[in-house]
């Protein structure tokens, strides 16, 4: 199952990733990080919809997102 | 962040990028542009022979975010400093990273002549239509009608002239081997931008002349917009005013001729 | 035995720089220093170096900054208005601890002035002509031989202190022709500046050469470091003295004017007048201790310059505990001869 991991402390709540995600599973949470930005998240149930396309990480200006793609899905994707 | 058993890592921050937050505003594309340069240099295995010429503007702190040997050029003078660096060490990869106020206004003579001399350097030119660091004044690339802190009524053709199209201008200079304009508003455009940056460093490595990449970017804070709206403005207003494309490419021309 | 050649001051600067191992020259046309870029364009590439005629003096000074950042022996040259344009880059070089040599063949000023000789750039040269508290070492040649020698000295001092060095000549030194002994110093070692120069971070932390200090207290510390360096530079002070021991009056003059004044002093000595000369070779650090010691011996002073009075302030500062210095300013725009200084010196003797 592909997934994304957010380095919440780096997120600035710009929400560009929420635009880019083709599955529309990234949302702004109500949690604030140390710098006072409302960080983004993917809910646990939504994470299964992640296809590991890394669109979110590509548009993120702050290297917040690390992306893993499941091998099974990866083979299917190629 | 360990990789689990049946998955593979497909995206992570390039090692060249320092593992610390940047001072850039939320949604500012400097961070993206930095990452693309870092990814390209890493993929070309160049960091250990690269010297970065920082300029004066929001990106003056580029050397804090990239593990590269770097020198800070006075405002507008990065292409001249880069000339001195490259002439003294022609075996090194040398690039400037500049904003629109730095390159197109105070530093216009320097970029024109560095390009005309065909200095084997790469210019990363981030165009966000304002002076960011100093609080949002008009830049040579400010759009007609765009309000800035020095064009409160919006830029007019009559008194402030038109936005300068640097990629096209630089392409007309004999020593310029590659000049292109790219944008960072969408995933496809960011990927094209990375290819362009890669090509620019290839042109330098082949010593064909100066390579110039104009990168359209947002400045949410000084556009008085949130990041998402600013990104939309880039797509809907900046790209029509600053057409994307390649304006000269000695490599392509060489292939055609061959 | 080193070769002796008939050279103008401009040509001596070029040969001295090449002897010192200068690898890059960046310049721009302006009279009366044009022969420097012209000769450099012939000799430097042939010696495996890089010559660039820049689009402006601003650009050429910033090219110097770039070459200095890689630890390369590099220089630029110009005359007065062009040197004004280089001031920002020189301030950055001083603040970034970057070595480099800047030659100014002083011409008539202010403004466009004329292409004749003048010492109107003394303040600009010795007070750090740009923004912020900084100093450059300043050497003042009075002959073509000194122009040659001082280029070698300038490069060594620049790298010893990691600081810009200014060689302040003028239209007289630039264009007169004299025999020059072209001695060769020890060759420069290839790992000069190895511990700080930029070359790409291979197997080490990256190096950053900059002068922006925004963190609290950081700029204060930077300026303390600079002051400590400028104190250390005092060791490099130098001056020529002539017949000062039993002199009642000391003439203080530098560069070509110092040399002309020496003829005046010699002729007055022949007429039995007890006059002497101090000719500063370094304008920064200034030979103030030497002047103070002479003042302590009860000597009187006259400062002679080819401007409306600049170095005289430094002389007055140096001798202030004992005496004052009178001043004779020969107006730029005319060419002085030793006769022109005799009457003012005699008047100062009374």
Q: Does residue C285 have a cis peptide bond before it, meaning omega lies within 30 degrees of 0?
A: yes
Q: Render each residue's pLDDT in chain C as its tens digit; 350 residues.
A: 789 999 999 999 999 999 999 999 999 999 999 999 999 999 999 999 999 999 999 999 999 999 999 999 999 999 999 999 999 999 999 999 999 999 999 999 999 999 999 999 999 999 989 999 999 999 999 999 999 999 999 999 999 999 999 999 999 999 999 999 999 999 999 999 999 999 999 999 999 999 999 999 999 999 999 999 999 999 999 999 999 999 999 999 999 999 999 999 999 999 999 999 999 999 999 999 999 999 999 999 999 999 999 999 999 999 999 999 999 999 998 899 999 999 999 999 98
Better-predicted residue by pLDDT, B1 or C19: C19
Q: Using pLDDT thresholds of 50, 70 and 90, give the confidence band for residue B45.
A: very high
Please name the residues between 28 and 67 in chain B that touch chain A, using a CB distance below 8 Å. 28-32, 35
Q: Nearest-CA residue of chain B relative to A34?
A: B21
Q: Please tell me the distance from the alpha carbon of residue A20 to that of residue A59, in angstroms, as a whole number.
A: 7
Interface test with chain A among B3, B5, B13, by most A beta carbons within 10 Å: B13
CA B17 to chain centre: 17
Ordered by start, the domain boundaries in chain C are 4-188+223-235, 239-349
Report if residue B15 sits inside a domain: no
Average pLDDT over residues B168-197: 98
Residue B256 above 90 pLDDT? Answer: no
Angle separating helix axes C255-270 and C339-349, nearest 10 degrees? 70
Chain C residues inside the 8 Å CB shell of B80: 54, 58-60, 62-63, 66
CATH class of the domain defined by C4-188+223-235: alpha beta
Average pLDDT over residues A36-59: 97
Residues 6+ apart with CB under 8 A from C250: C244, C275, C276, C277, C278, C291, C294, C299, C300, C301, C302
- Work out the burial of residue B186: count CB atoms within 10 Å of its CB; fewer than 13 is exposed, 13-18 middle, 19 or more buried: middle
Do B68 and C201 lie within an 8 Å CB cutoff? yes
- Closest Cα in chain A, distance from residue B59 (Å): 13
Helix (H, G, I), strand (E, B) or coil at C180: strand
Chain B residues inside the 8 Å CB shell of C54: 80, 83, 113
Average pLDDT over residues B15-42: 97
Do B231 and A54 lie within an 8 Å CB cutoff? no
Q: Nearest-CA residue of chain A relative to B30?
A: A61
Q: Same CATH topology for C4-188+223-235 and C239-349?
A: yes
Q: Please tell me the distance from the alpha carbon of residue C163 to that of residue C208, in angstroms, as a whole number.
A: 17
Interface test with chain C among B80, B92, B120, B175, by most C beta carbons within 10 Å: B80
Q: Using pLDDT thresholds of 50, 70 and 90, give the confidence band for residue B253.
A: confident
- Closest Cα in chain C, distance from residue B95 (Å): 12
Please report which helix (H) or strand (E) contains residue C123, including its range: helix C122-126
Residue B254 above 90 pLDDT? Answer: no
Do A14 and B26 lie within an 8 Å CB cutoff? yes
Q: Does A60 touch chain B (CB under 8 A)?
A: yes
- Closest Cα in chain B, distance from residue C211 (Å): 8
Q: Does B2 touch chain A (CB under 8 A)?
A: no
As given in the structure block, the two tokens for residue B59 are: 């990106």
Q: Would you put residue B206 in left (φ > 0), alpha (ψ -120 to 50) or beta? A: alpha
Per-residue buried b or exposed e for B79-102, using 16+ beta carbons within 10 Å of the residue's own CB = bbbbbbbbbbbeebbbbbbbbbbb
Chain B residues inside the 8 Å CB shell of C60: 80
Q: Please tell me the distance from the alpha carbon of residue C157 to that of residue C330, in angstroms, as a whole number.
A: 32
How many other CB atoms are found less than 10 A from the CB of residue A12? 26
Residue B258 above 80 pLDDT? Answer: no
Chain B residues inside the 8 Å CB shell of A47: none
**Residue in this structure with the two tokens 């001195």, named with its chain if needed:** B84
Q: Using pLDDT thresholds of 50, 70 and 90, give the confidence band for residue A61.
A: very high
Q: Please tell me the distance from the alpha carbon of residue B103 to that of residue B109, in angstroms, as a whole number.
A: 9
Chain A residues inside the 8 Å CB shell of B12: 66-67
Mean of all residue pLDDT scores within chain B: 97
Q: Does B24 touch chain A (CB under 8 A)?
A: yes
Helix (H, G, I), strand (E, B) or coil at B46: coil
pTM (predicted TM-score): 0.96
Q: Please tell me the distance from the alpha carbon of residue B203 to that of residue B249, in angstroms, as a whole number.
A: 9
Q: Which of C53, A68, C123, A39 is nearest to B5 (CA)?
A: A68
- Closest Cα in chain C, distance from residue B113 (Å): 7
Residues 6+ apart with CB under 8 A from B90: B120
* Cβ proximity of C121 and C87 under 8 Å: no
* Cβ proximity of A8 and A33 under 8 Å: yes
Chain C residues inside the 8 Å CB shell of B48: 200-203
ipTM over 0.90: yes
- Closest Cα in chain B, distance from residue C171 (Å): 28
Average pLDDT over residues B128-134: 97
CA B120 to chain centre: 16
Per-residue buried b or exposed e for C266-280, using 16+ beta carbons within 10 Å of the residue's own CB = ebbbeeebebbbbbb
> Quick one: pLDDT at residue B175?
98
Report if residue B8 sits inside a domain: no
Chain B residues inside the 8 Å CB shell of A62: 21-22, 24, 31
Q: Does A47 touch chain B (CB under 8 A)?
A: no
* Cβ proximity of C154 and C148 under 8 Å: no
Q: Please tell me the distance from the alpha carbon of residue C81 to that of residue C79, in angstroms, as a whole number.
A: 6
CA B242 to chain centre: 14
Domains of chain B: total: 1
Backbone angles phi, psi at B149, to 5 degrees: -70, -15
Q: Return contacts of B160-165, CB within 8 angstroms, 24+ apart.
A: B163/B129, B163/B241, B163/B242, B164/B104, B164/B140, B165/B242
* Cβ proximity of C249 and C300 under 8 Å: yes
Helix (H, G, I), strand (E, B) or coil at C26: strand
Average pLDDT over residues A28-51: 96
In angstroms, the first-to-last Cα distance of chain C is 48
Q: Does B227 touch chain A (CB under 8 A)?
A: yes
- Closest Cα in chain A, distance from residue B35 (Å): 8
Interface test with chain B among C27, C48, C201, C207, by most B beta carbons within 10 Å: C201
Picking from B74, B82, B87, the nearest residue to C24 by CB comes out as: B87
* Cβ proximity of C249 and C302 under 8 Å: yes
CA B137 to chain centre: 19
CATH architecture of the domain with residue range C239-349: 3-Layer(aba) Sandwich (3.40)
The dihedral sign for the CA sequence B220, B221, B226, B229: negative
Residues 6+ apart with CB under 8 A from C43: C14, C15, C18
Alpha helices (H) along A5-77: 16-20, 44-47, 55-59, 71-77
Average pLDDT over residues B98-110: 98
> Quick one: pLDDT at residue C8?
98
Q: Does B91 touch chain A (CB under 8 A)?
A: no
Picking from B1, B11, B220, the nearest residue to A57 by CB comes out as: B11
Q: Please tell me the distance from the alpha carbon of residue C29 to that of residue C36, in angstroms, as a whole number.
A: 9
Interface test with chain C among B58, B60, B71, B107, by most C beta carbons within 10 Å: B71
Mean of all residue pLDDT scores within chain C: 97
Q: CATH code at B165?
A: 3.40.50.970
Pairing of the two strands C100-108 and C114-117: antiparallel
Q: Please tell me the distance from the alpha carbon of residue B154 to that of residue B164, in angstroms, as a whole number.
A: 16
Report if residue B17 sits inside a domain: no
Picking from B63, B71, B74, the nearest residue to C69 by CB comes out as: B71
The dihedral sign for the CA sequence C294, C296, C298, C300: positive
Pairing of the two strands C177-181 and C4-8: antiparallel
Q: Which of A19, A31, A22, A23 is nearest to A6 (CA)?
A: A31
> Quick one: pLDDT at residue B2?
79
Q: Nearest-CA residue of chain B relative to C63?
A: B84
Residue A76 above 80 pLDDT? Answer: no
| DSSP assignments along C35-95, one per residue | HHHHHHHHHHHHTT-EEEE-SSHHHHHHHHHHHHHTT--EEEEE-THHHHHTHHHHHHHHH
As given in the structure block, the two tokens for residue B178 are: 């590659």
Report chain B's C-alpha Rg in angstroms.
18
> Quick one: pLDDT at residue B75?
98
Percentage of chain B modeled with pLDDT above 70: 99
**B102 is in which domain, residue-wise?**
24-257
> Quick one: pLDDT at residue A78?
44
């Amino acid at each position: 199952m592909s997934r994304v991991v957010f380095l919440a402390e780096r997120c600035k709540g710009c929400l560009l990733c929420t635009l880019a995600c083709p599955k529309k599973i990234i949302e702004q949470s109500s949690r604030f990080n140390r710098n006072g930005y409302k960080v983004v998240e993917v809910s646990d149930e939504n994470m299964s919809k992640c296809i590991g396309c890394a669109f979110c990480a590509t548009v993120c200006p702050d290297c917040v997102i690390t992306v893993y793609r499941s091998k099974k899905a990866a083979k299917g994707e190629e | 962040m360990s990789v689990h058993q049946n998955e593979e890592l497909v995206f992570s921050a390039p090692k060249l990028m320092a593992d610390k937050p940047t001072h850039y505003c939320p949604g500012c594309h400097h961070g993206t542009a930095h990452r693309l340069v870092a990814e390209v240099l890493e993929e070309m295995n160049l960091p250990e022979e690269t010297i970065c010429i920082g300029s004066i503007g929001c990106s003056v702190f580029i050397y804090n975010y990239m593990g590269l040997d770097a020198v800070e050029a006075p405002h507008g003078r990065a292409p001249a400093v880069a000339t001195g660096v490259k002439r003294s060490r022609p075996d090194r990869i040398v690039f400037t990273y500049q904003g629109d106020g730095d390159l197109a206004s105070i530093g216009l003579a320097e970029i024109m002549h560095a390009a005309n001399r065909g200095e084997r350097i790469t210019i990363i030119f981030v165009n966000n239509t304002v002076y960011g660091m100093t609080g949002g004044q008009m830049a040579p690339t400010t759009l007609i009608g765009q309000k800035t802190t020095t064009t409160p009524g919006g830029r007019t053709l009559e008194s402030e002239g038109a936005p300068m199209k640097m990629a096209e201008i630089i392409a007309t200079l004999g020593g310029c081997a590659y000049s292109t304009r790219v944008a960072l508003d969408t995933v496809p455009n960011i990927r094209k931008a990375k290819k362009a940056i890669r090509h620019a460093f290839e042109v330098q490595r082949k010593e064909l002349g100066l390579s110039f990449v104009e990168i359209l970017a947002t400045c949410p804070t000084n556009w008085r917009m949130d990041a998402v709206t600013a990104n939309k403005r880039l797509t809907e207003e900046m790209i029509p005013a600053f057409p994307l494309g390649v304006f000269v490419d000695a490599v392509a021309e060489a292939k055609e001729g061959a | 035995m080193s070769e002796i050649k008939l050279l103008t001051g401009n040509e001596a600067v070029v040969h001295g720089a090449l002897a010192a191992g200068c690898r890059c020259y960046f310049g721009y046309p302006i009279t009366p220093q044009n022969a420097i870029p012209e000769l450099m364009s012939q000799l430097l590439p042939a010696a495996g170096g890089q010559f660039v005629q820049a689009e402006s003096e601003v650009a050429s000074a910033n090219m110097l900054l770039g070459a200095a950042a890689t630890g390369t022996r590099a220089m630029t040259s110009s005359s007065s208005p062009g040197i004004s344009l280089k001031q920002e880059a020189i301030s950055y070089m001083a603040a970034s601890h970057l070595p480099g040599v800047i030659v100014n063949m002083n011409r008539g000023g202010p403004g466009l002035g004329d292409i004749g000789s003048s010492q109107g750039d003394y303040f600009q040269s010795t007070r750090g002509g740009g923004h912020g508290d900084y100093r450059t070492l300043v050497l003042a040649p009075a002959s073509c031989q000194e122009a040659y020698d001082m280029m070698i000295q300038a490069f060594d001092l620049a790298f010893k202190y990691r600081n810009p060095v200014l060689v302040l000549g003028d239209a007289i030194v630039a264009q007169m022709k004299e025999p020059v002994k072209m001695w060769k110093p020890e060759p420069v070692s290839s790992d000069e500046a190895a511990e700080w120069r930029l070359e790409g971070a291979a197997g080490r932390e990256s190096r950053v050469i900059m002068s922006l200090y925004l963190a609290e207290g950081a700029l204060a510390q930077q300026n303390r470091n600079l002051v400590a360096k400028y104190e250390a530079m005092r060791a490099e002070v130098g001056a020529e003295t002539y017949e000062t021991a039993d002199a009642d009056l000391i003439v203080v003059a530098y560069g070509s004017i110092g040399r002309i004044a020496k003829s005046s002093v010699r002729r007055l000595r022949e007429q039995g007048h007890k006059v002497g000369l101090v000719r500063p070779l370094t304008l920064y650090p200034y030979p103030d201790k030497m002047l103070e010691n002479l003042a302590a011996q009860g000597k009187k002073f006259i400062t002679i310059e080819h401007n409306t009075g600049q170095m005289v302030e430094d002389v007055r500062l140096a001798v202030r505990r004992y005496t004052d210095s009178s001043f004779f300013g020969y107006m730029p725009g005319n060419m002085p001869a030793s006769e022109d200084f005799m009457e003012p010196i005699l008047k100062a003797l009374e």
